[in-house]
Amino acid sequence: MIFDTHAHYDDEAFEADRDAIMEEIRKSNIKRVVNVGANLRSSETSIALADKYDFVYAAVGVHPDDANEVNEEGIERLRELSRNEKVVAIGEIGLDYYWNKDNADEQKEAFKRQIDLARELSLPIIVHSREAAKDTFDILSEKKAGDMGGVIHCFSYSPEIAEEAVKMGFYIGIGGVVTFKNSKKLKETAERISMENIVLETDCPYLAPNPFRGKRNYSLYLEYVVRTIASLKGMSEEEVMRETYRNACKMYGLEKE
């Protein structure tokens, strides 16, 4: 059984065949999927998907790209949306200085306000952090976000930073990138941190693993991620699936099936 902790099936990349894809997932060994919001609109569509498919859960939140949505009204809307019983996390939230550093202050403010909301709602957070390690971890620590826990999604920093994140109470989200030839750092991270702290994610439609790199990603390709992690850690694929499934259920506060 596999738990895809981070997907975007509301993305337009799935517009033409979404229902067929969801049916394929239902029949596969992918048992649970969390569809993650990136702004107010996709938080709503994530919930719509969770309402429609029993194996889909939702996260609501605003990605740093849309930080300007995180005003008083935006927070109130997220609060309302979180009342849906299938909402399991606040995300994805965080800092992204790769795309835009000019609005760093606005990003930080949006990140902090959504961490406060997660605390109020007792929900874990899904953290997006790109080229912003220092500010991200300063804020997580200042806000004691480890109390709520969650995941550093699509982890892209050093193994040392991964260890720090784990110490704070976060899981490390690993997806297709770990299968890439040039992903030395992430392979090292996967080797170094304990299996207890790893969760699987696609971030689909993005970041398909080898041999599908560059193509549209979806949850069934996690099989290739499982294979890579198993070989890095000298474990069986079964063990990797079982442990990451258990971690994901624990992280999102879901009963293990």
Nearest to 117 by CA among 96, 95, 87: 87
Measure the CA–CA gap between 88 and 91, rounded to whole angstroms. 10
Cβ distance to Ni ion smaller for residue 203 or 243:
203
Cβ distance to Ni ion smaller for residue 118 or 232:
118
Kindly determine how many residues on this chain lie close enough to bind Ni ion according to the rule CB under 5 A: 1
Measure the CA–CA gap between 114 and 91, rounded to whole angstroms. 8
| Binding residues among 170-189 for Ni ion as defined by CB under 5 A | none
Cβ distance to Ni ion smaller for residue 42 or 232:
42
Copy the structure tokens of residue 210: 């080898």
Nearest to 96 by CA among 58, 139, 67: 67
To Ni ion, the closest distance from the beta carbon of 207 in angstroms equals 9
To Ni ion, the closest distance from the beta carbon of 151 in angstroms equals 11
To Ni ion, the closest distance from the beta carbon of 202 in angstroms equals 9
Measure the CA–CA gap between 98 and 77, rounded to whole angstroms. 28
Cβ distance to Ni ion smaller for residue 136 or 232:
136
By CB under 5 A, tell whether 203 contacts Ni ion: yes
To Ni ion, the closest distance from the beta carbon of 239 in angstroms equals 26
To Ni ion, the closest distance from the beta carbon of 128 in angstroms equals 6
To Ni ion, the closest distance from the beta carbon of 92 in angstroms equals 5
By CB under 5 A, tell whether 4 contacts Ni ion: no
By CB under 5 A, tell whether 10 contacts Ni ion: no
Cβ distance to Ni ion smaller for residue 61 or 232:
61
79: phi then psi, degrees, rounded to nearest 5: -60, -45
Encoded one letter per residue, x for contact with Ni ion by CB under 5 A and - for no contact, window 124-153 reads: ------------------------------
To Ni ion, the closest distance from the beta carbon of 185 in angstroms equals 20
Cβ distance to Ni ion smaller for residue 232 or 248:
248
**Residue range at the interface with Ni ion (CB under 5 A); choices 164-172, 188-196, 203-211, 212-220:** 203-211
**Residue range at the interface with Ni ion (CB under 5 A); choices 54-62, 106-114, 196-204, 218-226:** 196-204
Interface residues toward Ni ion, by CB under 5 A: 203
